Amino acid sequence: MRIGLSVFFIILISMTISACATSLGSVKERGSADPLRSLDAFGEFDALDPGASVYMAFEAQEARSLLDLLKIGDVTGGQTGLLLDKTSRIAAALYPRNAGRRFLAVCQGDYPNALAALSLTASADWEKVRAWNNAPYWRSDAGALSLALDDSWALVSDAEPFARTTQAVTPLDEFGAFRQGAVLAGWITDGGASLTNLLYLLEIPIELYLQSAFFAVNKIGAQYELSVRLEIFSEEQAKGIATLFSLARLFIGQNSDSESGTPALAKPLLANPPEQSEQVVNLRSGAMSGEEVALLFNAFMLCL
């Protein structure tokens, strides 16, 4: 499937997502059902519907080099780079297969709305249609992509791009402090199932049952560092999980046969010992190249 506009739309659409088992954020009333409202009046996740498997936020310019590594297609005639150039922040949600949409992304920036509308009007691939709430948006059936654009925001989805409810998603309070300085951060709502799948893919047989799971990517010079915060149901269980990760580090250090491919990512991922405090286990990777981060995130998306 060919997708345009940006990498995050690509990685959001190319996966199999299991149904949510746990909600790791809160839901509040959005306070306005106007689909053309200014997004500046709300939090960055507020225009996303509840019920997603993963919520993510990007600092677009700081993450640009990483986003460029993940970009694979462009059905918009070369406008992907233009959109990213003018985007400051991105919030995105990945939904289960039976939710009616697979992803919804909110971009904040300074967009040439009139020029974009003219370009889309002239394209045979795009058609202007109306959403369930009678709001206009652009649809490309060939790219399975929908776009609503204003001067300061863009909504992108594989289905109708407007949220269907007046409820808004907000992350847990701890997420704000955890994501400080990150170019990409998010949380997972499936109770640890997708992370367990990823660990098995990395040949680390650890099964996780979680209250919450946060992840963040920080840029360190030309490289990246991944942080993961796992909240377990009890302090005793957290100690057990930290011990398992410590044993996995020892095993990986003694058995270094996997020098390439997905299993090789276990080495930088577990480069540092886990840190456990009460019910929380924190993991911090070693320095990773953009290519390694891209490979890890693509593998994670396949595990959802």
Parent domain of 279: 191-302
Say whether pLDDT at 266 is over 70. Answer: yes
109-154, pLDDT tens digit by residue? Answer: 888 777 777 777 777 788 999 988 888 899 988 878 898 888 888 8
CATH of the domain at 290: 3.30.1360
Would 233 be classed as within a structural domain? yes
Would you say the pTM of this structure is higher than 0.85? no
Phi-psi region of 135 (alpha: psi -120 to 50; beta: other; left: phi over 0): beta
The most confident of 38-42, 44-48, 116-120, by mean pLDDT: 44-48
Q: Read out DSSP for 92-126?
A: EEE--GGGS-SEEEEEEE---HHHHHHHHHH-TT-
pLDDT bin (cut points 50, 70, 90) of residue 9 is very low
* Between residues 74 and 154, the one the model is more confident about: 154
Per-residue pLDDT tens for 203-242?
Answer: 999 999 999 999 999 999 999 999 999 999 999 999 999 9
Give 159-208 pLDDT, tens digit per residue.
999 888 777 788 999 999 999 999 999 999 999 999 999 999 999 999 99
Higher per-residue pLDDT: 220 or 29: 220
The pLDDT of residue 71 is above 60:
no
- Unique residue bearing structure tokens 């891209």: 294
- Tell me if 174 is assigned to some domain: no
From 169, 201, 225, the end of a domain falls on: 169
Q: Is residue 184 included in any domain, yes or no?
A: no
Q: Average pLDDT of the chain?
A: 80
Instruction: Take residue 185 and report the two structure tokens written for it.
Output: 């951060």
> Is residue 177 one of the residues assigned to a domain?
no
Q: Where are the beta strands (DSSP E) in 158-211?
A: 167-171, 184-188
Where is pLDDT greater, at 31 or 123? 123
Q: Which residue has the higher pLDDT, 196 or 65?
A: 196
Query: Do 165 and 55 share a domain, yes or no?
Result: yes
Among 136, 169, 202, where does a domain finish? Answer: 169
